[in-house]
Amino acid sequence: MAIKVLNKNKLKDHLEAIQEEVGILTKLDHPNIVKYYETYVDEKYIYLVMEYIGGGELFEKIAQQKNQVFSEGMAKDYMKKLFGALHHMHSQKVVHRDIKPENIMLASNDELKLIDFGLSKRQEGNKKLKTIAGTPYYMAPEVLDGQYDSKCDTWSLGVLLYVFMSGYLPFQGENRNEVFYKIQNAKYHFDHKEFQDCSENVIDLIKKLLVVNPKTRLSAGDAIKHPWFKSESSSKPLKIDKAVLDRLGSFKGVSKLKKAAMNMLVKMADQRSIEELREEFVKLDKDGTGMINAEELKTAI
């Protein structure tokens, strides 16, 4: 476990935002979402007891695998876990709103974890979210228009998948306005040579995620059912080009100062026991929601 220590005097007007984040994390319980345990408060500090994640950022870890093969199959495994985490969140009416490489970490047992719910929001019924929030390169078109729902997160994963397969961002420009124009009009391409070695299924999935109209964009639950996750990438495993690994290593948007500012007291848990429980849970969770319903439990028994 890890303890995040927050100074109440420095937080001041941000206390409500912290309470909102804690309230959201309390609702979530999925193997690929950082686990919140408890909050303790004294006169000066707030102590958030969280799951300890010691493996570093996902993209950094991939970039370090210089002498190993990073394949499309490995990317598929990571993306399946991310869509599973999203499917669980969205079933709980939670929208992350800031999915990007820096918010995807690896635990010490190499299990993927989605973190940082500081911008997350609970959606009430079918009411649209209006606050423009997130990181520009990963924002969905409807977020820029101020009328959006959980489908904004699947767009962000579409951007992430594009980056995974090529090492490039799909929407780039000389300035923010140019980037936003390309996002709002889905102006991207597959001309990078790296895409020549990608399977048709992964290209198709990207196309169905980077759709301007959220009504026709895949939801997280639908994305998990896409043929890419059910078929072999090709007759032989597709190796991701070394140049892609080098570019993935450059996606480090969070400053080291910000990370250093988080005071942590760390205590390791029994990772083997956690992994065994996680594997059994996944076997029971047939619909991939991150929750076991009565029918699934009945079938297991």
In the chain, ranges of CATH 3.30.200.20 domains: 2-52+255-300
CATH architecture of 58-248: Orthogonal Bundle (1.10)
Residue 25 pLDDT exceeds 70: yes
197 is catalytic: no
Q: Which helix (H) or strand (E) holds 75?
A: helix 72-91
In tens, the pLDDT along 190-207 reads: 999 989 989 999 999 999
Residue 258 pLDDT exceeds 50: no
Longest C-alpha distance within the chain, in Å? 62
CA dist., res. 202 & res. 80, Å (int): 12
Exposure string for 87-111, b = 16+ CB within 10 A, e = fewer: bbbbbbebbbbbbbbbbbbbbeeeb
pLDDT for the residue numbered 7: 84
CA dist., res. 12 & res. 140, Å (int): 31
Proportion of the chain above pLDDT 70, given as a percent: 76
Which range among 33-37, 48-52, 140-144, 284-288 shows the weakest confidence by mean pLDDT? 284-288
CA dist., res. 157 & res. 86, Å (int): 9
pLDDT, mean over the chain = 82
pLDDT for the residue numbered 126: 85
Q: pTM (2 decimals)?
A: 0.79
In the chain, ranges of CATH 1.10.510.10 domains: 58-248
Phi/psi-derived region of residue 186, left when phi > 0, alpha when psi is between -120 and 50, beta in every other case: left
Residue 240 has, within 13 A of its CA and on its CB side, a CA count of: 28
| pLDDT-derived band at 268, boundaries 50, 70, 90 | very low
What would the two tokens of residue 236 be?
């032989």
pLDDT for the residue numbered 62: 77
pLDDT for the residue numbered 84: 96
Which one is catalytic: 98, 149, 241, 285? 98
Query: What is the per-residue DSSP string for 204-222?
Result: HHHHHHS-SSTTTSPPHHH
Q: Which amino acid is at 222?
A: D
What is the mean pLDDT of the segment spanning 80-109?
93
For tokens 């009009």, the residue is: 185
| pLDDT-derived band at 266, boundaries 50, 70, 90 | very low
In tens, the pLDDT along 214-255 reads: 999 999 999 999 999 987 654 345 555 666 666 666 655 434
| Phi, psi values for residue 68, rounded to 5° | -115, 160
Instruction: Let me know: does 212 contact 141? Beta carbons within 8 Å.
Output: yes
Superfamily of domain 2-52+255-300: Phosphorylase Kinase; domain 1 (3.30.200.20)
